[in-house]
Structure 1
Amino acid sequence: MNFRSTAALLAGLFFASASYAQQHSEQNHSKYVAPTDPLVQQKLSKWQDVKFGLLMHWGTYSQWGIVESWSLCPEDEGWCERRGPHSHDWYEYKKAYEDIAKTFNPVKFNPERWAKAAKGAGMKYLVFTTKHHDGFSMFDSKYTDYKITNTPFKSNPKANVTKEVLAAFRNEGFMTGTYFSKPDWHTDSYWWPYFPPKDRNVSYDPKKRPDLWNKFKDFTYNQIEELMSDYGSVDILWLDGGWVRPKSSIDTTISWQKTIPYDQDIDMARIAKMARSHQPGLLVVDRTVSGEFENYVTPEQSIPDHYMSIPWESCMTMGDSWSYIPKENFKSTQKLVHTLVDIVAKGGNLLLNVAPGPDGEWHEEAYTRLEEMGKWMNVNGVGIYETKPLAPYRAGKWAYTKKGNTTYAFYLAEAGEKLPASLKPEGLEIPAKAKITFAGNKKALKVKNGAIELPARTITEIGTQPAYLFVIN
């Protein structure tokens, strides 16, 4: 059965999903707690230097070309809207959704191609969705039958998808991370069948049914331990589903957190201790739950409008959707480059999402975008990697970073814009004896009245770029 709707219908659903993402970026970052473990500090410093990573949302939902997991959620929100012949009845829909696993068979799965493409783009770390809110495990968990190794793909030698993905990226020198959803809408110990779910939250009061809640806590702990002990070296445990949190951590000044009805404490201290016993120095990212288990913060589908001194990462989509849709609206290479520069200049990392399809392959256009970004990064990455933000960070079309005594000034040109004969960096004073060159071009540029002079021949030599980098020594 094919649940793919028209592009117009899908667009409405995914723009609603983007609204959800922005709503869930709200957070009081003043409560950030820096890690004290020296190994975690070292890992965090390394992560802050690599700047650019790949996120992949992939699950059975890709077969229908719908939003990841959220159509199962009985909330009257745009991102929870159901599509297809069973949409009128939630119970029928949930059964049909979960039955996708019976036909899910991504025969073109080739993680080595993904890893090479991501490396070519200049990406240096990976976060892969091992389990989203729907509870479908993209790894061979012994604690559930709802998993990739219980589909028609199980006979494939690469059936344990998470293991293959992590290995392929690790082999290309990537830091690796596992996305894991704390809520699980498939397991009976979260959405207990005795009570129908009312929303995204647990369907019973954990205080009234502690045995059931403890069963869920153990289930979560056990699955995370599988990922931390059976899948090689892991650098990041990236936990989603911020409504699963202690009641004491709810910030009532934030709209979406006010609706959380129960204390859903899964004992992060126990989980983190176990995870780090297997993976010393592991970065734990308990998203939106400020405190010692959120080693860096993760604004979603948005970029802060100012420099932030704490470790942070914007997770954003290459197209409109987190999950695969048949016709995706990919951002231009220029837009993606500008996004990366903007984020790095403000002190953050970019985690860019690309979604595999039901056959286990990306849209070809995603490969093209990564290749184009790679061409730019090969020349200009010197102003991205291992740099620190430099005030005024962003000013007009300019963005600034530094490394040692070198200043990197990015000019974010508009589409089709030709460089003028001179450019004056906004908010930056250039020392009188400074040596200035374009990245990748050894010819020194002159400065007159604080403006960089650009000879026509040099402009021709460097060609048209999404952003131009001036190296100032």
Structure 2
Amino acid sequence: MKRLFTLLILLAVGFQSNAQTTSIDPWIKTPANVLNDFMDQRFGLFIHWGPVALRGTEIGWSRGTNVPTAEYDQLYKEFNPVLFNAEEWVKTAKNAGMKYLTITAKHHDGFCLWPTKFSDYNIMNSPYKKDIVGELAKACKKYGLKFCVYFTVLDWHDPNYPIHLPDGKNPDPKADMNKFVSTMKNQLQEIVTKYHPYMLWFDGNWESPWKNEYGVDIYTFLKKLDPNVIINNRIGGGQPNSHPKLSPEIIGDYATPEQKIGELNMKDPWETCMTICQQWAWKPNDKLKSLKECIQTLAKTSGGNGNLLFNVGPMPDGRIEQRQVSRLKEMGEWLNTYGESIYGTKGGPFKPNEIFAATRKGNKLYIHVFERKSTNLVLPALQGVQVNKAYLLKGSNIMHNQDASGVITLQLPAQLPNAEDSVIVLELNTNAENLPVQS
């Protein structure tokens, strides 16, 4: 009923795709309750995968650089990931404590992991001939994860897109952006109507052929298909530095800082995307992040009021490396104990640092302790707030003191219960979510 009501409103305000429009009609913006639900998820799996895994180089970016263009464009003829199992991927995410999954349905190299009718350069023309996107959508539904899709707004393989190599130079005068945008809409309509993604993760909006009005047009088009689909901030043109933030002129629902933890922001939703190794796509012997780095990245991201989209790059045969699966499982084991301090929380009121981060929910303030520098941990003053109780999450009470100015001192145990991140719960005499952010 709510969706029908939204569609009626859209029609009433003259809902049309107009490539000359440079701003989004506020009536069609993703509802706040939908975005709040997204931010409550806190932790998702990013997957960069395609025929390039056969070479172990970066997806898209190695086309015409590390791998000759002609060779790169023929890799799909060898791509036969016979060990791909969508349920195993989804169970890996679920065992890690992740709540959603995002797959690169089409990256900058133009290869499509679903059987699109609008390009022959797709998975059905590989030896594998199975719908990767469809299998993952089905597995996510079975195991209760939200299914999301990555889709680029540039395509170096498509002759109608003016740029054909990662260097962004020498636009092709024979290219036709109107035809390119038409193809893009057709493919997105396939994805939205067939797989019903919870969120669409766009990328590639920095190149000059992609104009802001195209982003407005696509956003509006998508909202006509599904008013509740969530869309990131990489869809508008001319915004090369916009990923870490949102502002009124930026198109999209949330910000996407990349390979770094976003800053504490209680106003705008954001999601850090980061690799579990170093490269987005699979690379042999790529350096894996330590468990400490993984867990503290999640805690600091949540402490900044953001989500973490953590990336794996599966191997050519379709499996995720066992060492990556094991690392993610270790994160899930930590979340089995400490998950209440992550899911459905707000960040703050303290800015995360190398010693601790804070999250909050109801009258509880969760202090994520990363390192025992001394016997006591001193927190910034919370004026007018009283700490009624302090204890280790799933553990014993700890001694605490609060002086007249509101400065809180916590007496840490001689041995923290978790080497990566031990969580102390402070029960307050007020709603912790209403506390102002400390400078």
How would you bin the TM-score normalised by the shorter chain? 0.7 to 0.9
Work out whether residues 235 and 282 of structure 1, in 8 Å CA contact, stay in contact via their aligned partners in 2: yes
Q: Identity of counterpart residues, as a percentage?
A: 32
Secondary structure at the counterpart of residue 183 of structure 1: coil
1:57 alignment partner in structure 2:
48
Aligned residues between the structures: 388
Unmatched segments (≥5 aa) in structure 1: 1-31, 74-80, 84-92, 245-259
The range that moved more, 166-175 or 51-60, is 166-175
1:163 aligns with 2:154: no
Residues 349-368 of structure 1 aligned to structure 2 (within 5 Å): 349-368=307-326
- Structure 1 length normalisation: TM-score? 0.76
Q: Which amino acid aligns with 1:58?
A: W
Provide the C-alpha distance between the structure 2 equivalents of 1:425 and 1:466, rounded to a whole number of angstroms: 19
2:59 alignment partner in structure 1:
68
What root-mean-square deviation, in Å, do the aligned CA atoms of Structure 1 and Structure 2 show? 2.6
**CA displacement, residues 55-102 of structure 1 (integer Å, 9 cap, x when unaligned):** 0000110111011111225xxxxxxx425xxxxxxxxx2121111111
Cα distance change of structure 1 residues 314 and 105 upon mapping to structure 2, 3 Å threshold: same
* Aligned mate of 1:278, from 225, 229, 235: 225
Secondary structure at the counterpart of residue 225 of structure 1: helix
Work out whether residues 104 and 358 of structure 1, in 8 Å CA contact, stay in contact via their aligned partners in 2: yes
Cα distance change of structure 1 residues 436 and 37 upon mapping to structure 2, 3 Å threshold: farther
Provide the C-alpha distance between the structure 2 equivalents of 1:59 and 1:82, rounded to a whole number of angstroms: 16
**CA displacement, residues 89-148 of structure 1 (integer Å, 9 cap, x when unaligned):** xxxx21211111111000000111111121111111111100011100011001111111
2:5 alignment partner in structure 1:
none
Unmatched segments (≥5 aa) in structure 2: 1-22, 237-241, 243-248, 403-407, 428-439
Provide the C-alpha distance between the structure 2 equivalents of 1:447 and 1:33, rounded to a whole number of angstroms: 50
**CA displacement, residues 160-191 of structure 1 (integer Å, 9 cap, x when unaligned):** 00111122123222222110011111111114
Provide the C-alpha distance between the structure 1 equivalents of 2:24 and 2:211, rounded to a whole number of angstroms: 21
User: Which one has the bigger helix percentage?
Assistant: 1
Cα distance change of structure 1 residues 227 and 198 upon mapping to structure 2, 3 Å threshold: closer
Using CA pairs under 8 Å that are at least 6 residues apart, name the structure with larger relative contact order, 1 or 2.
1
Q: Which amino acid aligns with 1:112?
A: E
Residues 413-452 of structure 1 aligned to structure 2 (within 5 Å): 413=371, 422-429=375-382, 434-441=388-395, 443-448=396-401, 450-452=408-410
- Structure 2 length normalisation: TM-score? 0.81
Q: 1:411: Cα distance to partner?
A: 0.5
Secondary structure at the counterpart of residue 267 of structure 1: helix
Secondary structure at the counterpart of residue 379 of structure 2: coil
Cα distance change of structure 1 residues 229 and 263 upon mapping to structure 2, 3 Å threshold: closer
1:103 aligns with 2:94: no
Provide the C-alpha distance between the structure 2 equivalents of 1:284 and 1:202, rounded to a whole number of angstroms: 30
Residues 93-132 of structure 1 aligned to structure 2 (within 5 Å): 93-132=68-107
* Aligned mate of 1:382, from 340, 365, 368: 340
Work out whether residues 262 and 271 of structure 2, in 8 Å CA contact, stay in contact via their aligned partners in 1: no
Provide the C-alpha distance between the structure 2 equivalents of 1:197 and 1:329, rounded to a whole number of angstroms: 28
Secondary structure at the counterpart of residue 71 of structure 1: coil
Provide the C-alpha distance between the structure 1 equivalents of 2:170 and 2:255, rounded to a whole number of angstroms: 25
Provide the C-alpha distance between the structure 2 equivalents of 1:242 and 1:263, rounded to a whole number of angstroms: 6
**CA displacement, residues 186-219 of structure 1 (integer Å, 9 cap, x when unaligned):** 1111148xxx7693368235xxx7x822111111
